[in-house]
Every structure is written in C-alpha cells, then in structure tokens.
Structure 1
C-alpha cells in the first residue's frame, strides 16, 4: 500500500532550539564591617612610671575579637609601645617632665572574614609627667651631745623650677616634724633637742607639688652621744 505524498507546501518543519543552561551562579560572600570605639586611661605606678590601657569595643559595647593597639606620644612623635586587644596595657618607664598628649590607635583586623573589625583612634589623653627632684639632708651638728640643739635642713632641687610644698622629717619610722613648709629657695629646716641617744637614721620626705613628684632623701646617720663617750680604759697586765 502506498503512503500518501504530502505536498511540500503542507510539510511540517520541526526546529529544535538548543538553549545553553547556565546553571546556578556562584555564591558571593557578603563582607560585614564592625565600627569600633577606643577609650584610653592611665595610672601612675609605684616605680614612678605610667600604665596605659586602651579599652576597645564595638559601637554596641561588645569586646573585639582581635587586633593590635599602638600607643603614640603626639608631643614627642614617639611610639610608646604595642599591645594586643586581648591584653591592651603597656607600662611606660619614663617620660620627659611636662605635659604629653597620648593617643591609642586600634589597627582593626580582617582575620575573621567575612567580618572586618574597623580601626579607630582614642580621644587624646593629657598626661602631666612630674619632674623627679633630688632631696638633700644635712645636720648643723653631727655628732651631737644628748639634749643639744640640732637643726636639720632639707633642700629640694628639680628641673621644673623652685619646688613648693612641704617636707616631713623622720627618725626611722617615727615622725620628728610633719609638713614643714619649703621657703622660696626650696629649703625646709627643723630644730630639735629631743633626738634620742645613739645612731639615729634621719630622712626627709618631700610631699610633691604640681610640677615635682614626691621624693625622699638619702638616710642621714645622726650620732647622738656615741662619739662623746670616753674610750674604754686599757686593761693592765699583772
């Protein structure tokens, strides 16, 4: 049986369109930034230096996960030291006397991508470094007899001009005279006849002022009566 012939005018044309499949687009990381705030404070230590501490937090008050802090003296343009945010304190052993403008720079960190912790600076902190004066102590009569008048004189000398304030005289830990005012030359004197017999350990403690740090003299050994004792009689042989 013969199949019918379809005229060309009625032929069906099938067109297959091949559309390329692009597939899923690669995922893109979203970078998050966290602004920070730095607060700087200081405290004097027992050795005469200063400790500087920078408190770095986010704007919401949370701690930062890492990063380093640079401490800068804007007055001298010196870097005083570095610290990690986890332990953000340094100790400065000595600075020239006078006012210093201190700043703490938090460097930020990108170690926790996609989170970037942004850098920030503290407000300037004014640090007034006091001059360290020298205190010298002298006696008008050494050795002295028991009950004899003795004048003790303390002289306070510093690089920041004439010292003002007062001095306390001590015999060991006992106070001989408290808060004796310095004169215009930085000198304070105290006269007494009540020193105990023996070798006395006298010191003068300067209380400090707005420009000078407190200071203590070297110990003065005041001989009361010992040098005046007669020598022991020599022994005589039989």
Structure 2
C-alpha cells in the first residue's frame, strides 16, 4: 500500500494507492505430429486469488533470447511454429496494469520451462531378398538419417505383432542389420520402429516380405 500526500501549501489531503501482487504460470504443449509447433498458455492470478482484467503477456525463449509472441490476459494462449531442434527454455512475463487506479497490479514472471525439439529422422527398411523359401535366410537392413548428425539409439523389428528382434542398436553410421530364418509362409508385414534419441524423434516404417508356400518348393512327379 502506498500513501500519497498533497503538496505543501495545498489543502491537506491524501489518497491510497493499492498494489496487488501477481503470479503467472506457463503451460507448454508440443504438437507430436508437427516438429517445432508448440502451444503456449499462461495463467495470471492475483494475490487475492482472482484473474487479471487487463495487461499483456509476452512469451520468451531464454535459450535464444527471442520473443516468441505476445497476447492479452483475456486470450492468454499462442501457437508458435518452427522452433529449431534443440533445447529451449520458455518463459511467460506479465506486464502488470495501471488501468484500474488506484489499484496497481504488479508484473510477474513464470518459471522457465525446458522444451526439447527433436528432429524427424528419415527411416528406411530393406530386405536382402524380396522372396524367400520357407526356412530361408533373409537379412533386414535399417538405416536412420537426419540433419542433426548421425542418429543413435535402437530399433525393434516386428513380423506383424510378433517381435523379431528388440532394441537392436544402431552402429556409428546409423545403421543396423538382422538375419533370420524364422519367418512363416505368406506375405509378411515387417516393420521397423526407431526409438529415437536426445536429438531425433521416434519413427516407424514397414515393408512386405514374401515367403513362399512349402508346396511351391516341391517339384511335382511326372
């Protein structure tokens, strides 16, 4: 509370200016389908537990010292597009308000929220032979590539819902291979699921593998 008095020589008078402390919190939701798209929503609450009638909210990326956008407390939400891969530290600032004098709402800052934006990798899966006989050997090759260096991590291969090999580690070139003779006859749906790492998001792909019928391998008698 601030007491303001009139100047000397003027009739004695005083009035009261009240200050109201505020708290701002930030919620960050990344779009799982669009790398770099993030929804930012802030909430400003007064010390009396009520919302703010006016004032501006500014969203910052403290890692890059960039202002991401601003909005009013009436609509305290924005969507940011195109955040670069890497670690971001996001913060929301409330400007305060003098629009309801003699009540002054004080400015406030939210805690910094860490956000990691991952690169979407290019995942390829190939077979050493498109058609094999029952019990025949086939090698599945997986390659993971992207713009943030050689990916690390592991992949899991599946035949339909059945796991062929789990957590197969990528090598120093971002590749992995696995050989099996356990595929059953028919058209097999072979999938590779990349688990991601600190720079790359998870990804999946699949191919069709033909395994001939045992009867097709028998030469009919004449």
Per the alignment, do residues 61 and 210 of structure 1 end up closer, same or farther by CA in structure 2, a change over 3 Å counting?
farther
Return the offset for 1:144: 2.1
Can you give the 5+ residue segments of structure 2 that lack an aligned partner in the other structure? 1-10, 218-222
Which residue does the alignment assign to 1:80? 68
Q: Secondary structure at the match of 2:142?
A: strand
Q: Deviations over 1:172-206 (max 9, x none)?
A: 33322111111111111111112222222222111
Q: Does 1:221 align with 2:208?
A: yes
Q: Deviations over 1:94-132 (max 9, x none)?
A: 421112232212133345444232222234333222222
Which residue does the alignment assign to 1:161? 149
Q: Does 1:138 align with 2:123?
A: no
Q: TM-score, normalised by structure 1?
A: 0.70
Please tell me whether the aligned partners of residues 64 and 117 of structure 1 are also in contact (alpha carbons under 8 angstroms). Answer: no
Considering only CA atoms, is the larger Rg found in Structure 1 or Structure 2? Answer: 1
State how far apart, in whole Å, the 2-side matches of 1:71 and 1:118 are. Answer: 17
Which residue does the alignment assign to 2:44? 56
Which residue does the alignment assign to 1:65? 52
State how far apart, in whole Å, the 2-side matches of 1:84 and 1:202 are. Answer: 51
**1:1-238 aligned within 5 A:** 30-47=16-33, 48=35, 49-58=37-46, 60=47, 62-66=49-53, 67-82=55-70, 85=73, 88-217=76-205, 219-225=206-212
State how far apart, in whole Å, the 2-side matches of 1:90 and 1:110 are. Answer: 24
Q: Deviations over 1:15-74 (max 9, x none)?
A: xxxxxxxxxx8x97643221223333534443254443434333x472433344221224
